[in-house]
């Protein structure tokens, strides 16, 4: 693959309108979309993750959706392998790959901004860490590697254990910016003021609940997805697992989720602010975004 092929990247916090913008840009500039969402890779996790529907795709091909079983862990290395293969196919068809999503580490690893450490599984350490609560694991990570703790989902037990496993082996979780990146990339960031984003998050959550988010969780569990695994998947599925087990009421779940998703959005922005290549726009700045892309394509 030509290391200087052009790839357009759309980033931003959850509920910022990335998916709709990516579709509009793909239609205008003849592109295909590669999703960069660590949970939308899983089959069946549709309403809870806010996965784009066929109708919303408007005929634009989407890649890296529904490529893994939710019963198994999908890693960043898995993502890079499949996403690079998708990029090759899109570029061979003389189309523009448009990477859109909120999982920053996946995108950085894909385009060569960061390298992720090849640390083998430490089974003994994992068994020991698995006995701890997520709160205890997060406190431990915050003590040992505060930088990694700022960006991680503090409620995702699997990621916390993996981060601590790497810290145990290397002393910290390295996030190495590489001088030579793999592609000619244009980074477009979409962001709204936090008060508007919180309103959008709450509205989107209510819409997903009306669409059948709880029923989806029931089907997933009936199909063999354990409550433990739902908890590991984080955010919506963690809350849904608690609801189905009778640990919270539906109202409590909705209020808790709105808070947690807003906190997640803040963590996403904390991560993206490290990348000075991102050109930030408001969701309404469609014309300015198109001008920036046209200039980049002509370079």
Say yes or no to pLDDT of 178 above 70: no
Say yes or no to pLDDT of 278 above 80: yes
Q: Where are the alpha helices (DSSP H) in 3-75?
A: 18-29, 54-57
The owner of tokens 């739902």 is 230
> What is the separation of C-alpha 200 from the centre of its chain, rounded to a whole number of angstroms?
18
Res. 117 pLDDT band, cuts 50 70 90: low
Res. 243 pLDDT band, cuts 50 70 90: very high
What's the pLDDT score for residue 51?
96
186 bridge partner residues: 8
Bigger pLDDT: 25 vs 4: 25
Say yes or no to pLDDT of 262 above 50: yes
Q: What are phi and psi of 157, to 5 degrees?
A: -65, -40
What's the pLDDT score for residue 241?
97
Domains and CATH numbers, the chain: 117-175 (1.10.20), 195-264 (1.10.287)
Say yes or no to pLDDT of 180 above 50: no
> Checking phi first, is residue 192 left (phi over 0); if not, alpha (psi -120 to 50) or beta?
beta
What's the pLDDT score for residue 172?
62
Say yes or no to pLDDT of 279 above 70: yes
What's the pLDDT score for residue 116?
64
Prediction pTM value: 0.84
CA-to-CA distance for 5 and 22, rounded, in angstroms?
19
CA-to-CA distance for 229 and 89, rounded, in angstroms?
33
């Amino acid at each position: 693959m030509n290391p200087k092929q052009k790839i357009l990247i759309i980033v931003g916090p959850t509920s910022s309108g990335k998916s709709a913008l990516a579709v509009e840009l793909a239609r205008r500039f003849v592109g295909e979309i590669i999703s960069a969402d660590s949970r939308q890779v899983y089959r069946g996790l549709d309403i809870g993750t806010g996965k784009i529907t066929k109708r919303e795709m408007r005929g634009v091909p989407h890649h890296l959706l529904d490529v893994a079983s939710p019963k198994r862990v999908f890693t960043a290395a898995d993502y890079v392998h499949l996403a690079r293969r998708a990029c090759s196919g899109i570029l061979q068809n003389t189309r523009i790959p448009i990477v859109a999503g909120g999982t920053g580490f996946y995108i950085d690893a894909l385009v060569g901004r960061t390298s992720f450490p090849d640390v083998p599984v430490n089974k003994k350490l994992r068994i020991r860490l698995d006995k701890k609560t997520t709160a205890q694991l997060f406190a431990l990570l915050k003590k040992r590697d505060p930088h990694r703790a700022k960006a991680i989902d503090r409620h995702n037990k699997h990621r916390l254990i993996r981060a601590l496993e790497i810290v145990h082996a290397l002393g910290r979780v390295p996030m190495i910016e590489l001088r030579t990146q793999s592609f000619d990339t244009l980074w477009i960031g979409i962001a709204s003021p936090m008060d508007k984003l919180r309103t959008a998050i709450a509205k989107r959550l209510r819409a997903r609940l009306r669409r059948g988010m709880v029923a989806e969780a029931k089907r997933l569990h009936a199909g063999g997805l354990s409550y433990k695994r739902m908890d590991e998947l984080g955010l919506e599925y963690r809350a849904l697992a608690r609801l189905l087990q009778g640990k919270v009421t539906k109202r409590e779940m909705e209020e808790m989720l709105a808070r947690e998703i807003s906190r997640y959005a803040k963590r996403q922005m904390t991560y993206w602010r490290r990348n000075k290549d991102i050109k930030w726009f408001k969701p309404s700045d469609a014309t300015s975004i198109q001008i920036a892309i046209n200039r980049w394509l002509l370079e």
